[in-house]
Structure formats: structure tokens, C-alpha cells
Copies of this chain bind each other. A is one copy, B any other.
Amino acid sequence: MAVVPPNSQQEMRRRNLSRVLYAVAGAGPVSRASIAGRIGLTRASVSTLVEELLRAGFLVELGPGRSGGVGRPGNALALTGLGPCGLGAEIGVDHLTVCAVDLGGRVRARIGDETPNGEAGPDSVLRRLSSLVDRVTTEAGAAGLRPAGLAVAVPGLVTRSSANVVRAPNLGWYDTDLGARLGGPGASLPLTVENEANFAALAELWLAGEGSARRDFIHVSAEVGIGAGVVIDGELLRGTRGFAGELGHVPVQPDGPRCACGGSGCLEQYAGEAALLRAAGIAVRGAGGRTAALARLRARASDGDEAALRALRRAGRALGIALAGAANLLDPRAVLLGGALTGLAPWLLPALEGELRQRTTTPGNVPEVAVSAVGSDAPSLGAAHSVVRTVLNDPLPYAVAH
């Protein structure tokens, strides 16, 4: 007897169930006929798959006339607002965020906590994170949702397919295994840990629309450090060890200032928050100081303060140099600015785009430059959606028993 090949009937059914769920997720309330058209199966096959997904509780049938289209009334389908959900968390340098996202992509619970995490040590931070996870789980539970997994975004290098934070200098964490340390009810959930720039890029890929322009891009996200998520053909590039996307340590002036990474003249030394504020002559004071200092930088730039404008031009130029190198290597369709860079984009972009245009090898090779559409919650949203997609990819194991 032959070994069961990977493309068996069972595997095909599993894949088709997933395709139906993604078709509904992508289109909102939608008829069986429209699903059939989208995924290239017959209406009869789709009806069988839909019945199974209705029985298992992943889809709901909306009332007549809600589909907005032609055909029999009462046939519009939507993803359930009950059952499995994804928990996403972000450990920032001075905040924690936890949210719950349902299968339809709606944020159903969200709790934030603004406390500096940089000197607290992993145990204290993870204890607070566990308590936020518990509170969000309780809130989601009251709404009929149960977490299918927890994904955590961290500002550091994470070994591929592990929960081990190899290096997060801005938190002071080195070789910190979150799997072993996360306590509370959250500890029993499947856990994923990923660099925050990676989850932010995935949020951009999954949430900012279906255009092909958003399937090949470099998403730059700055908080205290500068990271990037590289998406190629709709897939996140993780790298051999999981450390890809370290744009902040691309050299832009090889003989420039020393960097904590051991190199010199890294992008972070010109466009990182600390360098930017220092160059603009703005001091960071106390807790919440970073946010206030960035607001002051924006205000001064708006007022035409020359030191602020010069610091932003210098940062924009450094970003343009690093991104020109990245664009020559990767030929992305777009470069997207996220995180703290979003609010500074009006002053960063002219110099950034100038360098990019000048330094890419051919006019057709200049990527589009745009500001991220998702916003500052991108890391925790990307994390929560990664769990949701685990369910959509293979729903049946998450079905409630009948």
C-alpha cells in the first residue's frame, strides 16, 4: 500500500475549507455563488463546504436581503463573531498591549499599559503581561470568544520558530525564553514570539487591502530602535536564523558614530529616536518622556525650527541611503514607513525619496514610498491576526464539539 501522499482527498478538503473561509474573510458578507466564483470551485462543492463550516460554527448565515446582491435571499455568509479568537501582544520599551481579534478580523478586546519596561527585567514585565492576557481572555470570554493561541511581538531578535529572545538591547533582555517564563492561564496557549517589525509588516500585508502593491515591500518600523519587515511575494522573509530585517544596523556612513551593535555609522545612529532627538536638541525626561519628546520634535518642525528640520533631513537622508541599498538588493514594489516614523513622515520623506531616486539603478526600479496604513497598533494586530490565520488555515481542530 502506498504511503498517504500529502495531496490526499482529506488534505484537499482541508485546503478547500480554508479557501472558503479566506474568501468570506476577504469579501465580507458574501453568497455561496460569489465564493464559488472567487475560488474556482463549483457552487455544489462550495455548498457542501459551507454546510460543514456552518455546522462547525465558523460561518453564520445572515438574514435575507443582507447580501446586497441578486439570487435567493438569506444566502449571505459571514465569519462568526464567536468561538476561536487570536490573542496578540506587544512588549514595547515603554508600553504593553494585548488584544483579542475574532475570526472576522474585528478587535473585540484591547488593554494597554504605559509603563517603562526597559529596566524592569523580564520576570516583572512578563508577570504584568500575563495579567493583561488574563484580563483580555476574560473580556473575550464574556463575548463568547476563546483564545486559540497567543502571539507576542518583541523589540529584538527572536530565533526562528522559537520563543527565545536572543537579544533585545532596549529591554536589556538576552537569551530570554518567553515560553519558559510566561505564567498564568496564558501559559497553556500555543505561543508564538516574533520581532515586532515582522508582525507590523504582516499586519500591513494582511490588513491594508489586497492590492498587489502590498505583496512586495519593506516595512520600516521605528520605536526606540529601527527595524524592518521584508515581505516578498506575500511572504515574510525571516532569514536563516530568524534575524532578517535589521535595517537599523545597515551601515550608512561606515566611519560614522559607534553603535551599540559593535558597528559604526549604522542607520540607527542617524534616524533612531535617540539620535534624532539629540540632533534636534530635545531632551527626554522621565516616564512617558519619549512620547512627549517626539511630540515636541513634531511641534518644532511645524514651527520651522532649523535644528529640528536639519535633524529630520539628516535622518531622512540616512533612511534613503539604507533603503536604496535594500531596494537595489531586493527590488520591492514599495517602501512603507510605520511606527514613530509615521508622524514624522512629512519632514523625512523629501530627503528619503531624493536619495532613493538617485541611488536606485534604473528609473523603473524606484519603489513607491508610502506611510503605513495600519498605525501604531500594527505589532499587536499582526500578532493577533497570525493566530487567527492559524485557525483559518486549518479550521476543524478548532471546532466546538456538537
Contact = CB atoms under 8 A, between A and B. Distances in A.
B42 A2 contact: yes
Contacts of A41: 2-3, 5
Interface in A222-245: 228, 230, 232, 237-245
A353 to B, nearest CB: 14
A7 interface: yes
Interface stretch (A63-71, A118-126, A296-304, A354-362): A354-362
Interface in A332-370: 332-333, 355, 358-362, 364-365, 367
B361 A328 contact: no
Contacts of A262: 358-359, 361
Contacts of A397: none
B358 A250 contact: no
Contacts of A157: 361-362, 365
Nearest to A253: B254
B331 A362 contact: no
A237 B243 contact: no
A250 B325 contact: yes
A302 to B, nearest CB: 28
B230 A329 contact: yes
Contacts of A264: 358-359
A219 interface: no
A143 to B, nearest CB: 37
A2 B45 contact: yes
B3 A7 contact: no
A239 B332 contact: yes
A261 to B, nearest CB: 5
A32 interface: no
B239 A324 contact: no
A148 interface: no
A385 interface: no
A241 B7 contact: no
Given A166-B364, A365-B241, A328 B254 contact: no
30 contacts: A1-B42, A2-B44, A5-B41, A7-B11, A7-B15, A157-B361, A157-B365, A167-B362, A228-B329, A232-B232, A238-B331, A239-B330, A239-B331, A239-B332, A241-B365, A243-B361, A244-B331, A246-B328, A246-B361, A249-B328, A250-B329, A251-B324, A253-B253, A261-B359, A262-B361, A263-B324, A263-B359, A263-B361, A266-B359, A325-B326
Interface of A: 1-3, 5, 7, 11-12, 15-16, 40-42, 44-45, 157, 166-167, 216, 228, 230, 232, 237-247, 249-254, 261-264, 266, 321-322, 324-326, 328-333, 355, 358-362, 364-365, 367
